[in-house]
Amino acid sequence: MKQSTTTIATLAASQYIGKLCRHFRHKIETEYTPTTGLATFPFGTCNMTATPTHLTFDIAADNAESVEKIKGVLVRHLDKFAYKEQLIVEWQDGSRG
């Protein structure tokens, strides 16, 4: 299983989880609360966690190509929703299992 994680500094983490999950649910299965989110793509998953100062994405997929697809979807949509602030997204890639 391939994985990638990023933690992004923002004071709007909870709002971004809500916006992302509400947007994605038109095409994929999502679940969310004010502090957590789960987006289940056909090719992998992304767990989202909000703290008062950070947003974390944890991606898991069968292969690196699928991880990259999910990263692209997340970053493109987050950039649209976060137009009022400049977010720094730095991914940490790895494997498990």
Q: How many Cβ atoms are within 10 Å of 27's Cβ, its own excluded?
A: 11
Helices then strands (H, E): number in the chain? 2, 6
pTM of the predicted model, to two decimals? 0.95
Torsion angle, alpha carbons of 31, 36, 40, 41, to 10: 120
pLDDT in tens, 6-55: 999 999 999 999 999 999 999 999 999 999 999 999 999 999 999 999 99
pLDDT value, residue 97? 61
